[in-house]
Each structure stands twice: as structure tokens, then as C-alpha cells.
Amino acid sequence: MKLTTAGESHGKALTGIIEGLPSNLLLDIEEINALLALRQSGYGRGARQKIERDKIEILSGVRNRLTLGSPLAFLVVNKDYENWREYMAPEGCDVQKRVLTRVRPGHADLTGVIKYDQTDARNVLERASARETAVRVAAGGVFMQYLKSFGVEISGYVKSVCGIEDEKAYAFEELKRAKNEPLFMLDSEKQQKAMRLLDKLKEDGDTAGGVIEIRVKGLKSGFGSCMQYSTKLDAILCAAAMSVQAIKGVETGLGFKAASLCGSEVHDEIFYKNNRFYRTTNNAGGIEGGMSNGEEIVLRAAMKPIPTLMKGLQTVDYLTKQPAAAAGERSDVCAICAAEIVLESAVACVLAEVVSNRLGGDNMREQLERYKNLR
């Protein structure tokens, strides 16, 4: 199973192709659109989200809501294209307007213009933009429904915003509540504090990041492998999380904290009762030896503050080589809720691939039968 995406932030549309889906997976399109709407929600988003109304349009690979086993091609329209057509149209446009040379620190602008032999960073930023995540979430909706048919569910919440951290632990079922909260945080006091901080940052023309926890429930043991470095489940999941724009750090289970504890405090002891092995702790975050061990998978990702700041950081104009304030026409203050949804989708994408690789088979009936028979 593989997802390829295409599309520029202010181009006509974002598109994707999913290859390798089995036939006869029943898709609920409204559920995918609800996920897309969630990605657009959250406190701290900028003016662009008032323009877009993301919806998936499936172009191939599905008939009467059932997958056919053929490539599933789809698109998400950029409504903002109507305002950008004269600067972005592939058929011909005015590239002298909307030029960006005051390259933004922390963005792809400077390295991109050099690498792709450009003089206008727009030719780089349009693709580097986190707008691309809309199409990953559309695909994520498909992957989540695929995983759900095996009883595998993905959820998550925002653990911290700009250093304001919720240190409590939550059961998987409690996480669902986060999606009704303005910052996807579960501690209302911390959330209020974080919202006040975002208001202040907005006034100052500044931005914020945070930490997101993603959990996977219901995956049987033995997914991923200890036999080759590239097939380790934790490596695959962490790479997927790191591929999300603005993510700078990822950990599984106790993560970095494990390094400061001793072995007896870290490793989850094993017990056996009623024909079943079990553990009473889950410090490993559901993965041992690069394989799922049947416990909940726990992954955390750190998002850096958005690099487009309204107040414009110090930079150098790429053409004149003169000092300048970096470009910053319009920016989100914080996109942590969007990142939470994108991370769930990124995890779903690679997990669907790992599951389908292990199960083999061309249709859902075969795959469900094989999953049921796994130990």
C-alpha cells in the first residue's frame, strides 16, 4: 500500500493516489470529510482556514462506496486558487507578482531556491507548505477505515502548547473528548492558559508549537519486524511522524525519559494468566524489538513554532542581499490541532502498509480471515 501526493498550496487542487488497497473495503466518505474539517479546526489558525472548506473528491478506485482494488485517485480543491489564479495558473500567469525573496528562517525558502535554481521562493514554498497535509488527511481517512475493519483504532491529543504541559495520563477512551476542545487539550485549566498565551503571541506577531501524543489501540502483536532495520515498526512510525511539516522530534513509549531511569524502572514485566501473556505497564509504548507487542502503541511528536511570523524575523533578501524582515503576510499562530489530525493520518498510512504487507491478499475477505487467524 502506498500514498503519493501532489499539489501546491495555492494551486488548483491537492491530489493523491493510494495504490495497493484491497477490494471490497467499504468507505464512509462523510467520515473522511469530518476528519478534513477537524484538521481545519482548532484555536490559533489563520485567515486561510476561513477560505477553505476541504472535501475529498474520489476520482477512481471506488464504486458505490466499495474499493475495487485499483488505484484510488482523489483530490481536495484549493478554494483559494480563485484568488491566486493570475499568479499560479499552469497555463500561463504573472510570475512577477507575489514574488517572495525575503526568505523566512525555519522554512524551506532559502535552501529550496538554491537547490531548485530559483529566484522566487514561491516556486519552493508552494509545495513545502503544510497545505499538503490536507491530502494526507484525506488519505488518512481511508487508511483509518481500513485499519478499523481489523479493530485497530487511532486517537490522540495535545499534550503541551509552547511549554504549557498537561502531565496527566489518560485512558484511550478519554482521548476522544479532545476533538471537542479548542486546542485538543484534555486539561481545561492548562488549555485556558495556552489559549491566553496564543492570544498574546498573536498580538505580538509570534507563533507557537507543542507536543502531541498519538495512540493506537487494538493492533495484534507481531507487526513490524526485528529481522531488518528498515522493517522495525518504531522506525517506520517515527519516520512517518517526522515527515509531517514542522515536526522536529519523535519518541515512542517512555522515549527520552527512559534514558535517565534504570532498567528495573523501564522494562515492562511479563505475566501469564488464562492462556494469555500480559504486562501491567506499557513503558515500551507497545513496541519491543521493532514489533508490536499487543499493547497500545504510544508515540509523541514535538512540533516547532510555525516559521511564518507576522512580525518578520531578521533575514536577507535573496536578490538584493540586503538585510530585511522575513515575509509574513498571513500566518497561523499555532496549528497544533491540525498537526494532531495529520499525525493520526500519517500513522494510519504506514500502519495500513505494514498490516497489508503482513496479511497479503487482494480483497478484504482474505485479509480479515488472515488477521483473525494470527496468534
> Under the rule (CB under 6 A), what is the footprint of ligand EPS?
9, 46, 48, 52, 129-131, 133-134, 308, 330, 332, 338
Q: Locate cell 487539550: which residue?
A: 185
C-beta of residue 26 within 8 angstroms of C-beta of residue 146: no
Distances (CA, A) of 122 to 15, 87, 119, 323: 19, 10, 9, 19
Nearer to ligand EPS, 43 or 223 (CB): 43
Query: How many C-beta atoms lie closer than 10 Å to residue 139's C-beta?
Result: 25
Nearer to ligand EPS, 161 or 338 (CB): 338
Beta strands in the chain (DSSP E): 2-6, 13-19, 57-58, 62-63, 66-67, 72-77, 153-161, 164-165, 210-217, 247-252, 270-273, 276-279, 287-288, 291-292, 297-303, 314-316, 323-325
Shortest spacing between CB 125 and ligand EPS, in angstroms: 6
Distances (CA, A) of 336 to 94, 200, 246: 34, 17, 10
Strand 314-316 and strand 270-273: pairing?
unpaired
Shortest spacing between CB 91 and ligand EPS, in angstroms: 21
Shortest spacing between CB 332 and ligand EPS, in angstroms: 5
Nearer to ligand EPS, 41 or 231 (CB): 41
Nearer to ligand EPS, 131 or 202 (CB): 131
Shortest spacing between CB 83 and ligand EPS, in angstroms: 9
Measured distance CA(134)–CA(7) in Å, rounded: 10
Of 57, 15, 51, 10, give the one whose Cα is nearest residue 33. 57
Nearer to ligand EPS, 120 or 366 (CB): 120
Which of the 8 DSSP states describes residue 104?
A: P
- The residue number with the shortest CB distance to ligand EPS is 48
Query: How many C-beta atoms lie closer than 10 Å to residue 319's C-beta?
Result: 12
C-beta of residue 69 within 8 angstroms of C-beta of residue 21: yes
Q: Locate cell 473495503: which residue?
A: 25
Nearer to ligand EPS, 47 or 66 (CB): 47
Of 198, 239, 203, give the one whose Cα is nearest residue 335. 198
Measured distance CA(40)–CA(337) in Å, rounded: 8
Nearer to ligand EPS, 21 or 337 (CB): 337
Measured distance CA(78)–CA(81) in Å, rounded: 6
Nearer to ligand EPS, 1 or 103 (CB): 103
Nearer to ligand EPS, 124 or 147 (CB): 124
